[in-house]
Structure 1
Amino acid sequence: MSLESVRYSRGSLQVLNQLLLPHKSEYEPVTGVQQGADAIRTMKVRGAPAIAIVGVLSLAVELTTKPCQDVPSLITFVRESLHHLVSARPTAVNMKKAADELNAFLAEEADKPGATSQRLTESVVQWAESLLKKDVEDNQMIGDFGAKHILEKAGPTEKVCMLTHCNTGSLATAGYGTALGVVRSLHALGRLSHVFCTETRPYNQGSRLTAYELVYEKIPATLITDSMASVTMRERKVTAVVVGADRVVANGDTANKIGTYQLAIIAKYHGIPFYVAAPSTSCDLSLPTGGSIVIEERPSHELTDINGIRIAAPGIDVWNPAFDVTPHELITGIITERGVFKPEELKDGLTKGQ
């Protein structure tokens, strides 16, 4: 059984506080929108898909326990709540997409004859709950598509060695994972020889979270520092690199955890395929290039302190962008729940049939 980043039942939401991992597994209640936004902003919950899920479910919980009394107040509350949730961490596009879609859905439902506050509330709650279920299904498809694509270039019985960055597993999603879902699918097929995960400084999502998941799932894995990636690719015969994404734009440029860009450059030098694994909800086709992506900057203490203990020289300036943008030219393929696309094929691939 995969780890759960969220536990939800109608009217109740709990999030696994990822700030406490790997030393303590503690689920904390989220009773409404403000707590949901706080959990996202402080990174108790993180990962673009999980951010959207916790956001809309925190809204669903508050509507269930504190229902609005009339349609206008309901529409206003939903609109303002979603705006607040989007602002918690702006780089990840999933929450913004979910907000836009839910606002549009609510407006359409409100225009139907006989619309009442009670009926609309039920519709919003059901919409939020469907997002949770769909994320797990999409992630499993991402894992299977990615594993199949990577194995097409291997021998019929050859096992592959992967390298991944940050955390993209069950803890970053509703379950299964994106990039780590690809690793999980390869392992399930018996075709994974090993996976290397970076520590992912400065917040150590790799050493705290990905390593935790890999040990939990009993997947053969080794933790490396971020600065070991080059020598690992060369000496340990890495087959492919697979990472997640917080936002993929129309030309395939991808914003992901800081350090992803340098991995793509290193992979290109060594002739190793570099894949981005992300649901279509992480793809923002409204932006033409990665230069338009707003990059979140985090507090300086995340870089200067570890567990509250200062490790950096007092007085030193700090620049702490949470993400970087990998140019599409460095990306071999973008793995989605609809298939694997070259960056230049992504826009047509996602819009076809819509």
Structure 2
Amino acid sequence: MLEISSLSLTLGGFRFTDLSVSVADGEYCIILGPTGAGKTILLETIAGIHRPDTGRIVLDGTDITDAPPERRGIGMVYQDYMLFPHMTVRENIGFGLRQRGVPKEERDTAAGSIAETLGIAHLLDRYPATLSGGEQQRTAIARALVLRPRVLLLDEPLSALDTVTRDRLRREIKEIHARTGITILHITHHFEDIYALADRVVVMKDGAVAQEGTPETILRKPASDFIANFTGMENLFSGTAVSGGPGTAEITVGAVKLFAATDLSGPVRVGIRPEDLILSAAPLDSSARNSLPGVVAGVAENGIYSKILVECGGGMVLTAALTRQSVERLKLCCGAEVWVTFKATAVHVFR
């Protein structure tokens, strides 16, 4: 559906270099990256706000690289909504149709239909200042969808909302995508969005694609230290892998031996997600190949989860994520002796 090929763009002190991304028809693609990675600039370039220095943007087989924004068949929703304060919800939704010369009666009918879909039909005669954040965001999405774009670009659409509203609107966006089948590119900093919405994830760094793949691939199999750190893998070590047979290896990390499901050997990097570690007061009767004794070196509250630091000897400190109930049940505190258990498949190995 959308093919971005060898895109280069210089904008002030920022630069894309030979950036290529493709999005399949009907796919929900989430773009991640730190501040300054170029995520919003990429979306604005796709929308036609910026013109690339080199490269092509092809939408559904048509080259739109030089097409004006209004002729691209692309809708875009910013995180700050950008609603017209002097217009009602009905007028805001129908604004783009009015720009296209659509008669008022037809505009109002279309606005009412999409408002019904998004659950804001009862707000059509209200003004933006009287709406909640979630209602304003739904109005902004309705204004984009009423134009029936081939691609919908969402720039941090949920970031300004409270947790309850964000969860509800996330479910609504998922339902909209399922009903319409529209192709969506969505910029976010919330990893919950990846699990709930994404078919595929693109991670950007310094104007380039650092890695792309399914949510499982990005979160469980990072291709670099940057991806591992950015996605919260936390437990990262250097080691030496020795093959233990097809698809398995023993990895020496300092004085600790780890078993991993990998074909790599020699110098490697090792990553283990905190949520893949199981803590217990005694060794577990489990098929997991990795079981290490350790001593709790720290307990830090982190919302509904607690981060537990465990010293496993030889300088290796593992970070585990446990619920508060688990911390209380195990009576975890500094100095407590524990066992850390995890599967060989939980040990991600890369160069």
What band does the TM-score fall into relative to the shorter chain?
under 0.3
TM-score by length of 2: 0.27
**Max radius of gyration: which structure?**
2
More strand by share: 2
Higher fraction of helix: 1
